[in-house]
Amino acid sequence: MTTLTHRTRRTEINKNSEKKVESEEDNNQERIPDNEDSGDSKDIRLTLMEEVLLLGLKDKEGYTSFWNDCISSGLRGGILIELAMRGRISLEPPTMRKKRLLDRKVLLKSDSPTGDVLLDETLKHIKATEPTETVQTWIELLTGETWNPFKLQYQLRNVRERIAKNLVEKGILTTEKQNFLLFDMTTHPVTNTTEKQRLVKKLQDSVLERWVNDPQRMDRRTLALLVLAHSSDVLENVFSSLTDDKYDVAMNRAKDLVELDPEVEGTKHNATEMIWAVLAAFNKS
């Protein structure tokens, strides 16, 4: 769907807390896992979708590249991974006939509200759908890429704008109007550059200073964000401030990561299957 490329020369240089929800009947508390980086404890908590959009936004202009046609589906993949990490959905267990990640259906584990409108809207769709659908089909349905008119009801609308409004409420973006000759467009410039730089540095460090060369040893949310940033074609934004040498190392390692076989990685101990299922869906697209 997207490709990772090397650059020759550049003349211009243009841990978020992992929140894992375990649903319980007596309460609906969200718990922070043991492997959380304590250094991120004071940071604003963002969803994976908010992080992907923030990485894709131009800081001053407040909009994503007009040429990026990947970020819409990338955000939908982020919704599925976020729901899985919060314990709301999972893949059906593998069987002899359905071993591959892309063949297994998405199952509802809990329909308790998450507090995020997009996540809760997706949960309602998954709960109401019979028969159940695969990860790839859900990404297509949520994006509106379906030929079935009866399935258009599952499309999530105005996703970027709704995510941007969440970031405005969290004090990271602001809202402005810009005139583009023939039309006016609502834009969302970055106001909290510290938060964005923290996010960028976390991803840079994950493939440089803190590189472990094993996805199973990586922080799950960082791994998910790398996969989503690649699939949304915003990874170049993350590494653009690096020196040429570090840029090449970071891009090579990120490329090696997303080119791993999802079917193999998804079966390993403690693997988050939904991350690899989403990657497999994007690889097939």
Measured in degrees and rounded to the nearest 5, phi and psi for residue 269 equal: -60, 130
Q: 182 or 126: which carries more pLDDT confidence?
A: 126
If pLDDT is split at 50, 70 and 90, which confidence band does 161 have? very high
pLDDT (tens digit per residue) in 144-153: 988 778 888 8
Distance between CA atoms of residues 23 and 113, nearest Å: 10
Higher-pLDDT residue of 64 and 206 is 206
Structure tokens at 131: 């028969």
Helical segments of 71-219, H only: 71-85, 117-128, 135-143, 159-169, 193-207
CB of 116 within 8 A of CB of 88?
A: no
Q: Collapse the DSSP code of 176 into the 3-class scheme (helix H, G, I; strand E, B; otherwise coil) and give the result.
A: strand
List Cβ<8 Å contacts ≥24 apart for 213-217: 213/253, 215/257, 215/260, 215/265, 215/271, 216/265, 216/268, 216/269, 216/270, 216/271
What is the structure's pLDDT at 122? 97
Residue 22 has pLDDT above 80, yes or no: no
How far is CA 252 from each of CA 169, 245, 269, 282, rounded to the nearest angstrom? 36, 11, 25, 19
- Spatial separation of the C-alpha atoms in residues 224 and 15, rounded to whole Å: 12
Q: Which residue has the tokens 């090397």?
A: 6
Report d(CA 102, CA 125) in Å as an integer: 19
What angle, rounded to 10 degrees, do the helices at 220-231 and 193-207 form?
100
**Has residue 201 got a pLDDT over 50?**
yes
* Average confidence (pLDDT) over 16-44: 41
Question: Distance (Å, rounded) from C-alpha 20 to C-alpha 84?
Answer: 9
Whether pLDDT at 191 is above 90: yes
Residues 230-275: tens digit of each pLDDT: 999 999 999 999 999 999 999 999 999 999 999 999 999 889 999 9
Q: Give alpha helix (H) positions in the chain.
A: 48-56, 71-85, 117-128, 135-143, 159-169, 193-207, 220-231, 235-239, 244-258, 262-265, 273-284
Please give the model's pTM, rounded to 2 decimal places: 0.84
**For residue 99, pLDDT beyond 80:** yes
pLDDT at 5: 44
The confidence band for 86, taking pLDDT boundaries of 50, 70 and 90, is very high
Backbone angles phi, psi at 220, to 5 degrees: -60, -40
> Looking at residue 43, what is its pLDDT?
58
Could you give the CA distance from residue 224 to residue 268 in angstroms, rounded to a whole number?
A: 16
Show the tokens assigned to 272: 């988050």
More confident position, 277 or 95: 277
